[in-house]
Structure 1
Amino acid sequence: MQDNLQFHRPSENLPPLQPGEAQPSFSDLQQAAEWFAVLRDEDAGEAARRRWRQWLEEDGGHRAAWQRVETVNAEFGVMPEALTHRVLSQSGLRRRKAIKTLAWLATGVTVAGGLGSSREVRDYVAALNAQYRTGVGQTSRQQLADGSILWLNTASAADAEFSDVLRRVVLHRGEIMIQTAHDNRQPARPLVVDVAAGRMQALGTRFLVRLEDNDTMLTVLEGRVMVTPSGKGTPQLVEAGSRVRFDEDRVEAPAPSDESMAAWSRQLLMPDGMRLDEFIAELGRYRRGYLGCAPEVASLRLVGVYPLNDIDRILNTLEATLPVKVRRILPWWVTVEAAAPDRHPE
């Protein structure tokens, strides 16, 4: 039986979610994953499917949760990483044709909920064709033509375009860190990082740029960076030890930053009083599938150093040191929940 349960997609029998309709709770998501596990079993009968359909029709949050589970499953069934690797290993005309094919497949993911607009599809294809790329759980260190160092975090993609007047890095997806080098050209060429929301110009610096759902996060560790939004926002100079969020129309007030935010470049996570739900969300960037945190344990705080080369070991450590348990409903659907009342870490 195929993992992707296309034969009973709820969209075939239920009205689509309406704007403002209930969003799935953690409990909704757990129930949806459990139903997915039941229905993928070859022994699941019509009675089980009727109960599933009844559950699905009860609440908009149930339908939204089911769509989320299907979307996560589609990451494994629609665009397998091996296919992407084979496409990108081509060269010349064959590579360009193959990328067009992946672009067509990407529009299919849009239907499944993975991509939401033509702009996102364009960004997705640009990332596939980028000069520098990393997969989920991978990081990379690159030396650019001027001697600057570019680090890429998990699932990231960027291009470097150097001309006679400008040193330009374009971030398409994920997160990068740049350690700028002195430009030997006279006059010296500015080094900039471009994202859809605007441009960042380095002023002798080391800094991180991270694309998030609706914003871009800039973290300056050394030197200064000038942020210029691409819309109506006012340019802002960001000093070392600060981070800002910005979009096309505004730059938020700076917040403090520190070296722990660059720990991923050494394959580490270093929470210092971080909430458990925030830590789990960050950890989830380094593995495929869904990694969730129950509301009952979300506010627990973490400190320490966690190597990113073994996510399961990190989860086991959480079980051993916090009053939590790790629940694996499916290989790609894992949650951190409250431990039984009589269980306490040693």
Structure 2
Amino acid sequence: MSQMNAIREQAAEWLIHFDAEGPPDPTDNREFQDWLTRDPRHRHVFEQMQRLWTGAAPATSPSHLGRALGAAGLCLLVAVAGLQLPRQYWQADYRSAVGEVTTVELPDGSEITLNTNSAVDVNFDKGRRQISLIRGEVLLEVETDPDHPFIVTTRDGKAEAMGTLYSVRRNDDHSLVTVYESRVRVTTGNGRESLALNAGQWARMGDAMLQSGSASLRATPDWSREQLIFNGAALEDVVGRLEEYHSGKLMISDELAASDKRFTGALPTRDTEAAISLLAGSLGLDARGFPPYVVYLDVAH
């Protein structure tokens, strides 16, 4: 996360705090005053957001820029959306911010790489090697130890390494396991279904459901190299993936959504503003709005 985005999130946290608590006035809060004086940008960003907060109008349909951008409050709501995360995320052993990809070395020499906006708990007590995926996605490069199984658990089931390299992604209604090297055994949450996956295979698991298939995979997922790679992908799919790494809201017009525009290329995940410019320039799109809070893509006229 960039330093300015971190300041925006801190300012948003203070605004939410004062809005929820009401009196006393923010000027009476010593901790808040300390934060304001720590960096001149803190006061500037806070006052800017405060004006948006107090002058906000109800947002209408986000698919129509004219009305959505007229609601200044939308900017602030988008800016603080990442703060509305479960307590488990903030209390996790390791977590990544929106747009951040981070790698952690575990006590046994294994490595885990957290995708954007992800969180895990790690349990290596009493010979265990267990990762609990709380949110998002994790890539695991596992050191072999036959006496101590390496297991990733989610709400939907578990994935036990029988080799070295695989990823687990937690979605709203299922978890996705993808194997890049060797083998992984996946088991549903109720324990009734189990399946061994080879390299190049994936499984979608729910509490009582298991589906599998094959895919042509690179050596590692594109996001682990801090880029998103597309080959003739529909624009809505490109925007959907890119938005996972963007600190604000990324929208497209109804006209653009109905078009058949497709994108081939690589977009950086660390600098989504550059990625948006690259995407817009490649497809001849118009990008406008209130960056980084709201970016709206439309057909250039």
Question: Normalising to structure 2: TM-score of the pair?
Answer: 0.74
Deviates more, 1:124-133 or 1:329-338: 329-338
Q: Which residue is equivalent to 1:306?
A: 267
Summarize the Cα distance change of 1:2–1:247 in structure 2 as closer, same or farther, 3 Å threshold.
Answer: farther
Summarize the Cα distance change of 1:242–1:300 in structure 2 as closer, same or farther, 3 Å threshold.
Answer: farther
Q: Which residue is equivalent to 2:18?
A: none
5+ residue gaps, structure 1, are 11-23, 41-68, 81-108, 110-120, 341-346
Q: Which residue is equivalent to 2:172?
A: 213
Q: Which residue identity lines up with residue 77 of structure 2 in the other structure? A: A
- 1:192-248 deviations in Å (ceiling 9; x for gaps): 000111111111120111112222111111111111111365212222112222211
Matched, 1:316 2:277: yes
Alignment equivalent of 2:243, drawn from 284, 289, 292: 284
Equivalent positions of 1:135-150 (< 5 A) are 135-150=97-112
5+ residue gaps, structure 2, are 1-49
Matched, 1:164 2:126: yes
- 1:47-66 deviations in Å (ceiling 9; x for gaps): xxxxxxxxxxxxxxxxxxxx
- 1:234-286 deviations in Å (ceiling 9; x for gaps): 21222211222221111123141412761211211111232221111111111
SS of 2:207 mapped into structure 1: coil
Deviates more, 1:227-236 or 1:295-304: 295-304
Matched, 1:4 2:35: no
Summarize the Cα distance change of 1:77–1:224 in structure 2 as closer, same or farther, 3 Å threshold.
Answer: closer
Q: Is the 8 A contact 1:34 1:329 kept in 2?
A: no
Q: Which residue is equivalent to 1:38?
A: 70
May I ask how many residue pairs the two structures share in their alignment? 250
- 1:173-197 deviations in Å (ceiling 9; x for gaps): 11110011022xxx61100000111
Q: Is the 8 A contact 1:219 1:243 kept in 2?
A: yes
Summarize the Cα distance change of 1:213–1:292 in structure 2 as closer, same or farther, 3 Å threshold.
Answer: farther
Summarize the Cα distance change of 1:34–1:5 in structure 2 as closer, same or farther, 3 Å threshold.
Answer: farther
Alignment equivalent of 1:76, drawn from 75, 79, 93: 79
Greater relative contact order (CA < 8 Å, ≥ 6 in sequence): 2
SS of 1:305 mapped into structure 2: strand
SS of 2:165 mapped into structure 1: strand
Distance 1:268 1:234 in 2: 35
SS of 1:282 mapped into structure 2: helix
